[in-house]
Structure 1
Amino acid sequence: MNRPETPYSETPSPETASPEPVVIDCDPGIDDAVALLLAFASPELDVTGITTVAGNVGIGQVVDNALRLCDLIGTDPRLPVARGHAGPLARAVRIPDEPVHGEGGLGGVTLPPSARTPHPEHAVAWLAERLRARPAGGLTLIATAPLTNIAALLHTHPDAAPAIKEIVVMGGAAFAPGNVTPSAEFNFFADPEAARYVTEAGVPLRIVGLDVTRAALTTRADIDRLLADGAPVTGAAGRMLDHLATRYERRHGIDACAVHDALAVAAAVRPDLIEWTDAWVTVECGGEFSRGKLIADVHGRTGRPHNARVATGVDADAFRAFLITRLLHTYGAPAHP
């Protein structure tokens, strides 16, 4: 993606409008953790709650990780963290066999236990209530996990859907290889029925998939900046990303890593960092090799109207600068401006 040579400022731009109310549906997970750090470091967003779903690790570990991350970030203790579905809508739960995210899901980084407790309501019920209290188009959902909670919300509480401004989804691989099968990305593979339901539900949808997340790698130099900073949050982020980069180097010979979910948060803040293509999309649920495959019809072959904007290009350098600068500016040691 070619863009003018305009370096990203070391200081986040001042707010020009009220922060965008968002809820983040996640399964921390290293890249979910970094996505949460970025969301709370972005004054353009007002994170009003976190919902959780099984994915990178089991639901108990996911909830525990989310609570510990809230402590690390220093969020308001009243911020709701709601426990969602423990498995897919129509299949047995499948936690990855290979420990991509390391012990505990955070790359072996051990955060102190949290005194916080999850919100007493199920994530889907809580989210439906939160949406009903909003005007039409009043809340954005950022989904960085299997779409089980979101599909359940749209199916069981259709009256809440008009309040959704849009859903920004990290998932799928429209025109790129998958990372679980030759064709499927993990979030869509983990619950393809949920992904299909969400894509065809008629809500405003933007999809940030492997087509762009793999092109926006965080480099070893970026990680070293976080590790050298020495502050608790940046240090933890650096150690998590070091785990991913070490794995990437071992498997792919690349001394860098994709931080998939952080790019979805960036898309909600800076959509100009990404090139978007309108398409009709759905997700394959069957087939020996096609389960979880994101189908994107950009040329109207199906005759169906476009129902999503699909990310097809990214300014990788600008994203890297955006991510690392925001983390250092918000959470870094006092020496950083």
Structure 2
Amino acid sequence: MDKESKGQKQKPLIGITMGDINGIGPEVIIKALENGKITQHLTPIIYGSAKVLSFYRKQLNRDNFNFSPINDLSKPYHRKVNVINCWQEMVDITPGQDNAIGGKYAFKSLEAATKDLAEGKINALVTAPINKLNIQSEDFKFAGHTEYLAEKAGSKESLMFMVSDSMRVGVLTGHIPLQEVAAAITKESIIKKIKLMAKSLKQDFGINKPKIAVLGLNPHAGEDGLLGKEEIDIIRPAIEECKSKGQIVMGPYPSDGFFGSGEHRKFDAVLAMYHDQGLIPFKSLTFSTGVNFTAGLPFVRTSPDHGTAYAIAGKDQADEGSMRTAIFAALDIANCRSENKED
């Protein structure tokens, strides 16, 4: 134990990946952690490069942002922002540019953080945005963070779960082409996701009897079969089976009016059938305060609900609200999970 933390209760270690170094990841990390008060609640561990952080600190004129490089997690500084250097070489940083360098070093950061997360050395992980294309390599052949972390965790099932103080939305089918969505919707997959969502609401959010709404796939939820049969043949039977097992599940609801009418406020979470069906209303209603949480993993991972935003990278225009919320959400979920472990 280091001298400055001796005699103190060790705060949770929250890992933070740097994401694409040419995107807004480093900027929102610096802004979110600039106020030293955050270290009263947790100990931030940034996986990336002190040189990259120094570059953006100067670029953004954030002289008040201080950090301490450490070699490993044996002696973190519990009153400071810690940085583990995942590489030593000089890197050409080009804010706003989509290139292979951004992808290469985003993966180095993610790989190191995931290793410590899987080994239980950190209590939770917050991932800054990556570019899903330029990160592709022999070591990373995944549609995104969710799929990568699920494989590293050995989890067959996971759930992309967008959460905020006012709403929670999960998606049945994640990062797949829209033309493949209908074929991917099965009664079994819906039941699995509802079960996973209900478990997460209990152990990660402390909701004992969660109420879940399920959206339809077709316009007007199929209009009794006129506009599609999936609601009748697949979605409704899945809901009824979940109800028969004591779960509070309702639907399928037409997705167009569900959020606009405020119907979502009556439920603890909503299961959408595909990515944009859930994320468009979520981001429209909670942008800058929403968080992407991967449910169903043996460890806790959150992420801000925005991308690399190359157009504003390095210009001191990025809003750090979602990153800050993601950090505190990771802390809250990790604490809640430890208190609500299921047998």
TM-score bucket (shorter structure): 0.3 to 0.5
With CA pairs under 8 Å and 6+ residues apart, which has the higher RCO, 1 or 2?
Answer: 2
Highest Rg: 1 or 2? 2
> If the length of structure 2 is used for normalisation, what is the TM-score?
0.33
